[in-house]
């Protein structure tokens, strides 16, 4: 283990914002290790968000009409926990810092619960639904204990805008890399390992993804160090005060709105595409091609995002990128008969995803700096937790929307119909277009950017 493991975060006060601390450069090893945490966060979790609904409907044989409610209730319950975890992080004090110890404590339980989630036993429908509710809820709770502290770490590592943007890029690319692995490998592994026994295939594949996530979280814990963090808040700090200050933070308000919309969009796109590919396009194999390529596109967007955002700014850069993505996406219905063209357009339209992800991560870090300058409280845990709340709420709404549409259209495994295919087209194409327009409206209000040299907390793009 690295020596940084034994160091507590360096406590700072507003007057101690020294040039040495602010200008500290991170090693590439630490940047890559921080990015590995995003791979850890998304490797097993992307298997869940991408294929759990399919597992529930086609393998565990749970009634699709009940799954929309299951997805919504469990994810909202999970999301509500996030702010509580954030408050806990802000009040944590240990020799490892405020956020890092949670990566140590939660990694292995998360891996084990990933396996349990894909191990729905036999029995009556009520028993199987109860098992699904319990395991999926517990998985979400442990995920919150990992992802909220991990997200809170970014503004603790550096205050330099270039460094933060690069860390945000590594996060975006890490998310895409995990998506490439999960979306590309899950279904082939299920078939290769399980053969006709898809239950066994899903179980072993979940074990592989869960073990990978746990190992990478421990790697992030070992090789990163918290530099910019105030001492843990005492019990005298009232939660209501922290919440009022957060709501008064204009950067946070835009960040949370953007995060919700982005993840509703992802939830709808990924969950509905699985069914669109196998029932509308009639090519289930394209799932393991198009979704990994989508993640390659998002990773490419993350790779160019640092230079792109520094050149065009967060507001103007995102408005242009989303507008281009929307124009491309609207051509997809006319390319369904040409699978290579359909895949190419789908992939190109998702390059903007890396730019959006980087922007969200950096805006969340900027919100911490605004909070510090205006209220004297960085509140990294609380701010990161509410952004995580937004992403989970968005994903829950997106996946639940797909499940509800399938239930309303009378979906039955292995029996595609014109009605369900039409409903899938509406939720996939129409849903994406509407959400992109909404995201453009939200980003049009963003006028803030962080600097190190200026004492001002915000400036116009």
Q: Which helix (H) or strand (E) holds 27?
A: none
Residue 18 has pLDDT above 70, yes or no: no
Confidence bin at 386 (pLDDT 50/70/90): confident
User: Cα–Cα distance between 159 and 266 in angstroms, integer?
Assistant: 30
User: Cα–Cα distance between 148 and 82 in angstroms, integer?
Assistant: 7
pLDDT attached to residue 7: 32
All domains of the chain, ordered by start, with CATH? 27-227+238-443 (1.20.1250.20)
Q: Which helix (H) or strand (E) holds 34?
A: helix 28-58
User: Cα–Cα distance between 28 and 32 in angstroms, integer?
Assistant: 6
- pLDDT, one tens digit per residue, over 250-299 is 888 998 999 899 889 988 888 888 888 888 888 888 888 888 888 788 77
pLDDT attached to residue 228: 66
Residue 144 has pLDDT above 60, yes or no: yes
Do the beta carbons of residue 218 and residue 103 sit within 8 Å? yes
- pLDDT, one tens digit per residue, over 441-461 is 999 998 776 433 333 433 444
Compute the Cα dihedral for 13, 15, 17, 18 and give only its sign: negative
User: Cα–Cα distance between 347 and 299 in angstroms, integer?
Assistant: 11
Residue 17 has pLDDT above 70, yes or no: no
- pLDDT, one tens digit per residue, over 172-188 is 788 878 888 888 889 89
Residue 401 C-alpha from the chain's centroid:
18
- With a CB cutoff of 8 Å and minimum separation 6, the contacts of 422 are 409
As a whole number, the mean pLDDT across the chain is 82
- pLDDT, one tens digit per residue, over 350-376 is 887 778 777 887 788 788 888 888 887
- pLDDT, one tens digit per residue, over 102-113 is 999 999 999 999
Residue 92 has pLDDT above 70, yes or no: yes
Phi, psi for 414 (deg, rounded to 5):
80, 5
Q: What would the mean pLDDT of 43-48 be, rounded to a whole number? A: 91
Q: Which helix (H) or strand (E) holds 244?
A: helix 239-247
User: Cα–Cα distance between 166 and 284 in angstroms, integer?
Assistant: 36
Residue 165 has pLDDT above 70, yes or no: yes
- pLDDT, one tens digit per residue, over 207-239 is 999 999 999 999 999 998 887 665 555 444 566
pLDDT attached to residue 453: 31
pLDDT attached to residue 21: 45
Residue 119 has pLDDT above 80, yes or no: yes
pLDDT attached to residue 39: 94
Confidence bin at 435 (pLDDT 50/70/90): very high
Please tell me which of 44-53, 90-99, 366-375 the model is most confident about, judged by mean pLDDT. Answer: 44-53
| pTM of the complete model | 0.67
- Of 200, 140, 130, 151, the closest CA to residue 34 belongs to 151
């Amino acid at each position: 283990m690295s020596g940084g493991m034994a160091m507590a975060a360096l406590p700072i006060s507003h007057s101690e914002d020294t040039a040495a601390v602010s200008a500290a450069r991170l090693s590439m090893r630490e940047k890559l290790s921080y990015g590995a945490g995003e791979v850890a966060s998304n490797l097993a979790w992307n298997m869940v968000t991408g294929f759990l609904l399919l597992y529930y409907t086609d393998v565990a044989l749970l009634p699709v009409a009940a799954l929309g409610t299951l997805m919504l209730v469990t994810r909202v319950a999970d999301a509500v926990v996030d702010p509580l975890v954030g408050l806990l992080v802000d009040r944590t004090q240990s020799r490892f810092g405020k956020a890092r110890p949670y990566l140590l404590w939660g990694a292995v339980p998360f891996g084990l619960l990933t396996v349990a989630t894909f191990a729905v036993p036999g029995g009556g429908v009520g028993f199987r639904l109860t098992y699904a509710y319990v395991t999926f809820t517990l998985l979400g709770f442990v995920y919150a204990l990992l992802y909220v502290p991990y997200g809170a770490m970014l503004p603790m590592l550096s205050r330099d805008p270039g460094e933060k943007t690069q860390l945000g890029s590594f996060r975006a690319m890490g998310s895409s890399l995990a998506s490439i692995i999960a979306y590309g490998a899950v279904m082939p592994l299920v078939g290769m390992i399980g053969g006709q026994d898809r239950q066994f295939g899903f179980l072993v594949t979940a074990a592989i993804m869960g073990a990978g996530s746990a190992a990478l979280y421990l790697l992030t814990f070992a090789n990163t160090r918290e530099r910019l963090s105030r001492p843990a808040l005492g019990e005298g700090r009232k939660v209501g005060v922290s919440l009022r200050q957060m709501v008064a933070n204009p950067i946070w308000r835009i960040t949370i709105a953007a995060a919700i919309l982005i993840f509703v969009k992802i939830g709808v796109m990924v969950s509905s595409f699985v069914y669109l590919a196998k029932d509308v396009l009639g090519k289930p194999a394209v799932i393991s091609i198009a979704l990994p390529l989508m993640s390659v596109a998002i990773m490419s967007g993350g790779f160019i995002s640092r230079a792109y955002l520094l050149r065009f700014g967060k507001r103007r850069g995102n408005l242009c990128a989303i507008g281009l993505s929307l124009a491309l996406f609207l051509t997809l219905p006319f390319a369904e008969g040409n699978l290579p063209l359909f895949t190419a357009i789908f992939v190109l339209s998702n390059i903007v995803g890396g730019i959006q992800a980087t922007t969200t991560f950096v805006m969340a870090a900027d919100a911490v700096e605004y909070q510090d300058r205006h209220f004297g409280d960085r509140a990294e845990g609380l701010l990161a937790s509410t952004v995580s709340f937004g992403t989970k709420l968005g994903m829950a709404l997106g996946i639940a929307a797909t499940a509800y549409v399938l239930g309303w259209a009378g979906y039955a495994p292995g029996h595609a119909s014109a009605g369900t295919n039409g409903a899938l087209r509406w939720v996939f194409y129409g849903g994406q277009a509407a959400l992109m327009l909404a995201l453009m409206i939200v980003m049009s209000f963003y006028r803030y950017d962080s600097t190190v040299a200026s004492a001002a907390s915000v400036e116009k793009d």
